[in-house]
Amino acid sequence: MTMFAERLARTRAAMDELGVDALLLSVGPDLPWLSGYEAMPLERLTMLVVPRGGDATLVVPRLEAPRVVERPDVFALRTWEETDDPIAVVAGLVGAGTEVAIGDRTWARFVVDLQAALPSARWRRGSEVVGPLRMAKDAAEVEALRAAAAAADRVAAQLHDGGIPLVGRTEADVSADIGRRLVDEGHHKVNFAIVAAGEHAASPHHEAGSRVIRAGEVVLCDFGGTMHAPDGVGYCSDITRCVWTGGAEPPAEVAEVYGVLHDAQRAACAAATVGTPCEDVDAAARTPIAGAGWGDEFIHRTGHGIGIEEHEDPYVVAGNRTPLAAGHAFSVEPGIYVDGRWGFRLEDIVVATDAGPEELNRADHRLVVVDA
Ligand code: ZN
Ligand code: ZN
Ligand code: ZN
């Protein structure tokens, strides 16, 4: 069985269990996960129709058909012409089904029209069916995440060895430079490249701007992109490293704070074993940071799941009792942020496996002093 056929079989089993008669997937990450095809976010409807019993059909505008890699073991292709009504096509394929699950990202205009065309259907979120399946990555997905993380690590290494000039350049310049390097290292596209110098590093999602980087300050770099797996589906990277500019060691206070963060992040990565609730991984990072007196300065959750989406389930946050399972992939990224002064964050992607946590990012975890 091919990888996509295997995912379809698991999806059908989930539909059986939940009593879902038809699953409808349009734009968003569920469709490429299940079919290898990513829908254009267009006013023209693309929709995979999976009836519980019957064969799946991918409904696409005719002009998009050349982009479709046909997978007869997963879906039949049904193209529609400019003068056809795709809502009627989809409604016809759903037939008499009463329980319909529809992808969470589907445009409201199509949901509204489908509800009118299928007045007796009951509707629920597609994520109820596909979410738990997508959360546990299969071997091909873990391999894709590994490749993306390795590419991001190579850019982090360039940052660490002084290959990316910092002092005298603006944050925005360095951000664009990091983006180019992500692409050079194999990413298909750049999703973000946060570059935050000095006091700006206290804002976790700081937007790189015109601030010129000086010697003797922290530069926080958090970057990631999407890299295509061999089957064409994109998987994300996401890494944060901080460096100290100017070639001289940082002040003792900075070294001490970074040491607390470093040890907390290492402890949380080590805690990410199969069976451990997500919130315990959060606590493994938070407890030592709070113990050192910086609890109020760690102002966000410890991490987020990652895969086809940059942020997806499972979230590593207090209150999430979900136990980690083999294949769960997520970031571990505690931070300490002091307004007006500096901030530090350290982020790796980790996969829970039966042999223990697999850390996909291997770049140096220290606050590296750079001459650049
Ligand atoms: Zn973030
Ligand atoms: Zn990040
Ligand atoms: Zn992240």
CA–centroid distance, 9 to ligand 1, in Å, is 34
pLDDT confidence of residue 232:
86
Q: What is the pTM of this model?
A: 0.94
Q: Which residue has the tokens 């010129």?
A: 212
Burial class (CB in 10 A: 0-12, 13-18, 19+), 137: buried
Q: What is the pLDDT of residues 45-68, one digit of tens each?
A: 999 999 998 899 999 999 999 999
Q: CA torsion, points 126, 8, 272, 310, in degrees to nearest 10?
A: -60
Q: What is the pLDDT of residues 135-153, one digit of tens each?
A: 999 999 999 999 999 999 9
Task: Read off the tokens for 316.
Answer: 């590593």
CA dist list (Å): 369 to 46, 245, 249, 288, 347: 50, 6, 7, 24, 18
Q: What is the pLDDT of residues 214-249, one digit of tens each?
A: 999 999 999 999 999 988 899 999 999 999 999 999
Task: Read off the tokens for 345.
Answer: 């964050």
Distance CA 328, CA 146 (A): 13
- As a residue count, the chain comes to 372
CA–centroid distance, 260 to ligand 1, in Å, is 20
Around ion ligand 2, which residues have CB less than 5 A away? 222, 238, 240, 347
pLDDT confidence of residue 224:
98
pLDDT confidence of residue 280:
98
Q: Where are the beta strands (DSSP E) in the chain?
A: 22-25, 47-51, 56-61, 75-80, 99-102, 122-125, 189-197, 218-228, 234-236, 239-244, 303-305, 312-316, 329-332, 335-338, 342-345, 348-353, 356-359, 368-369
Least distant ligand from the CA of 310: 3
Which uninterrupted H or E stretch holds 267?
A: helix 252-271
CA–centroid distance, 356 to ligand 1, in Å, is 25
Around ion ligand 3, which residues have CB less than 5 A away? 238, 331
